Amino acid sequence: MYPPNLRVYADRGQLCQSVAQRIAECVREKPDAVLGLPTGATPIAVYQELAEMCRQKTLDFSRVITFNLDEYFPMPPQSPPSYHAFMRRHLFDHVNCRRWFVPDGTARSAAQVGDDCATYEQRIQEVGGLDLVLLGIGRTGHIGFNEPGSLADTRTRLVVLAPETRADALPDFGNPNLVPSQAITMGVGTILEARAIILMASGERKADAVRQAVEGDITALVPASFLRRHPNVGIYLDMAAAQFLSAA
Ligand code: F6R
C-alpha cells in the first residue's frame, strides 16, 4: 500500500489534471492564495488546465499572488530560455494574475543578488507566507534548484547547478556552453514553511529520484527527502515515475 498522501495516475495527462484541480480548489477556497510555482516540462499541462479554467471563468487568479521557485543566473528576464519568459508563455499571458514574482536573474554582483534574495523572502512573509507550493523533482533529487548538499534550513540564494541538471536543460539552450552554471533558488527551508506542498513527478527518468525521496533516508544528499518532514505534502506521480517504489 502506498502512503495515504501518495497518488499514482496512469499517465502524465491524468496526473496534471489532478494537480490542476488541487490548485484550483486552493484558489477557490482562498481567492488571495499565495502560490509557489515551478517551471519545467512536468507542470506545462497543469498550467494549460489552469489557463483553460480561467478562460471559462470557473477560476479567478485576479487576487492570487505567485512566487516562482527559481531562475537561472545570469539570465536577463526577457531572454527566451529564462523562467520569466517560460512563466509568461505557459501561464501569465493566459490568466488574470496581477502579482507574480520570479527571482531576478539579471547579471549583478553576488552581494546584490544576496540582498535581493533576502527581499524575495521578505516579500513572501509580507503577503502572509506560501499557502501552496507546487514542486517538480530533478534527477538529482533537487526541489527548486536545491541540489544535493542543500540543507533543510536553506533560504533563497545563489547556487551552482549539478551537471545532470545542466544536461537536462541543454534542449532549451542548444549548446552546452550556453547553459548557465548557476541559479537563484528558493531554499528548502523556505519551501518547508509553506502550509501545503505538492510534489509531482512524471516519467521513468524520475523513478529513481522519487524512490530515494519517498523511501530512502531523509538526507541533504536527496533534498526532496526533506519533504517527508512536512505535515501536508501530496505526492502526485504517474505510473512510470512510481515504478521503483516498493509498494508499487
Ligand atoms: C524548475 C524547478 C525544478 C524542476 C525539476 C523538474 O523551476 O524548480 O526543480 O521542477 O527540475 O523539471 P521537469 O519538470 O522539467 O522534469
pLDDT digits (tens, 9 = 90+) for 115-124: 999 999 999 9
- Reported as a single tens digit per residue, the pLDDT across 206-226 is 999 999 999 999 999 999 999
Q: What is the pLDDT, as a whole number, of residue 1?
A: 67
140-156 pLDDT per residue, tens: 999 999 999 999 999 99
| Residue 205 Cα to ligand 1 middle (Å) | 12
Distance between CA atoms of 14 and 243, rounded to whole angstroms?
Answer: 17
Atom of ligand 1 minimally distant from the CA of 68: 7
Distance, CA of 66 to CA of 97 (rounded, Å): 8
Q: What is the pLDDT of residue 243?
A: 98
Residue 176's identity, in one-letter code, is: P
pLDDT of amino acid 248? 57
Q: What percent of the chain has pLDDT over 70?
A: 99
Grid coordinates in use for 174? 542548444
Task: Place 2 in a pLDDT band, splitting at 50, 70 and 90.
Answer: confident
pLDDT at 55 over 90: yes
Cβ–Cβ < 8 Å for 188, 221: no
Q: Is the pLDDT of residue 163 over 90?
A: yes
- Average pLDDT of the chain is 97
Using the structure block, give the residue that is written with the C-alpha cell 530533478.
138
Residue nearest to atom 3 of ligand 1 (CA): 144
- Distance in Å, CA 139 to ligand 1 centroid: 9
Burial of 126 (C-beta count, 10 Å sphere; 0-12/13-18/19+): exposed
Cell 541540489, residue?
147
11-23 residue pLDDT tens: 999 999 999 999 9
145 touches 70 (CB < 8 A): yes
* Percent of the chain surpassing pLDDT 90: 98
Q: Which atom of ligand 1 is nearest to the CA of 136?
A: 10
pLDDT tens column, 85-143: 999 999 999 999 999 999 999 999 999 999 999 999 999 999 999 999 999 999 999 99
Q: How far is CA 27 from the centre of its chain?
A: 17
Q: Which of 57, 86, 91 shows the shortest CA–CA distance to 70?
A: 86
Burial of 176 by CB count in 10 Å (0-12 exposed, 13-18 middle, 19+ buried)?
exposed
Distance of CA 237 to the CA centre of its chain: 15
Q: Kindly tell me if the per-residue pLDDT of 37 is higher than 60.
A: yes
Name all residues whose Cβ lies below 6 A of ligand 1: 38-42, 69-70, 136-138, 142-144
Instruction: Find the mean pLDDT for residues 28-52.
Output: 98
Query: What is d(CA 86, CA 100) in angstroms, rounded to the nearest whole number?
Result: 13
Nearest protein Cα to ligand 1, atom 12:
40
SS3 164: helix
In a mutational test of the pocket of ligand 1, which residue from 12, 19, 37, 42 has the highest number of ligand atoms less than 8 Å from its CB? Answer: 42
Whole-number Å distance, alpha carbon 171 to ligand 1 midpoint, is 14
> Which of 15, 35, 39, 186 has the most ligand 1 atoms within 8 A of CB, as the residue to mutate?
39
Length of the chain: 248
